[in-house]
Structure 1
Amino acid sequence: MSEEFGLVVRFSLRDREAAVAFDELCAATLEGIKSAEPGTLSYVVHVPEGEPLVRVFYELYEDRAAFDVHESQPHTKHFLAAREQYLAGVEVTFLDVIGGKVATAQ
């Protein structure tokens, strides 16, 4: 069994203005994730087809400890505090990885 740890988060946004601001917040947060989190294997933001006010995050970490490091970062703490003003709802699903393929950096 893999030690990798993942989650899917579904954010429902209040309106189009909130969606634009939320996307800007995400872009800034992603810069911190890319530069400071080697244990974050994947952190991808999606817009489901036909749902312009929804964002789905897929996150995959080396292990639970890497997720804990992610949660303790200043950019993540800022995101968690700032996101609330844009949200109509949020659903979090934690995942235990049993198999798959993860791209590696070249």
Structure 2
Amino acid sequence: MYAVVARFDVRPGHEERFDALAAWRIGEAAHEPGLVGYAVHRIDGEPQARVFYEIYRDHAAFLEHRANVETKRFGAEHVPYVTGPPRIEFLEVLHSAAGLAR
């Protein structure tokens, strides 16, 4: 299993547009064969912060995700809505429950 967390800081007034773009991206990602889970979260107390939490079967599945057309489209189209590049962290599972580690 391979996981990624990406935090985006959205410009005030652009939340609705960013969220619509994120919803589109999540919908498109649902068809990726190596995807285990993908969610976008709002941080309590930080109304402009968005966190993408992505779980892939393995690193190769993540690389496939990064290479697809929809990811590249999101990468280009989200830029006007955020204050700068996302903070991205790559996660290595140490312990899990509910069958997440395979």
| Fold equivalence (TM over 0.5) | yes
Match of 2:2 in 1: 5
How many residues are aligned here? 99
Distance 1:19 1:43 in 2: 19
Instruction: Give unmatched runs, 5+ long, in structure 1.
Output: none
| Cα deviation, residue 102, structure 1 | 5.0
| Identity value in percent | 37
Distance 2:97 2:82 in 1: 32
Q: Distance in 2 between matches of 1:62 and 1:22?
A: 27
> 1:65 corresponds to which residue?
60
The residue identity in structure 2 corresponding to 1:85 is P
1:52 and 2:53 correspond? no
Question: Normalising by the residue count of structure 2, what TM-score does the alignment of the two structures yield?
Answer: 0.89
Q: Partners of 2:78 and 2:98 in 1: how far apart?
A: 28
What is the RMSD computed on CA atoms of the aligned residues?
1.5
Deviating above 6 A after TM superposition, structure 1's stretches of 4 or more consecutive aligned residues are: none
- Structure with the larger helix share: 1
Q: Distance in 2 between matches of 1:57 and 1:29?
A: 11
Contact 1:41 1:102 in 2 (8 A): no
Alpha-carbon distance in 1 for matches of 2:6, 2:98: 19
Cα deviation for residue 87 of structure 1 reads: 0.8
Give the aligned partner of residue 14 of structure 1: 11
Query: How far off its partner does 1:74 sit?
Result: 1.2
Aligned pairs for 1:1-106 within 5 A: 4-16=1-13, 18-35=14-31, 37-89=32-84, 90-101=86-97
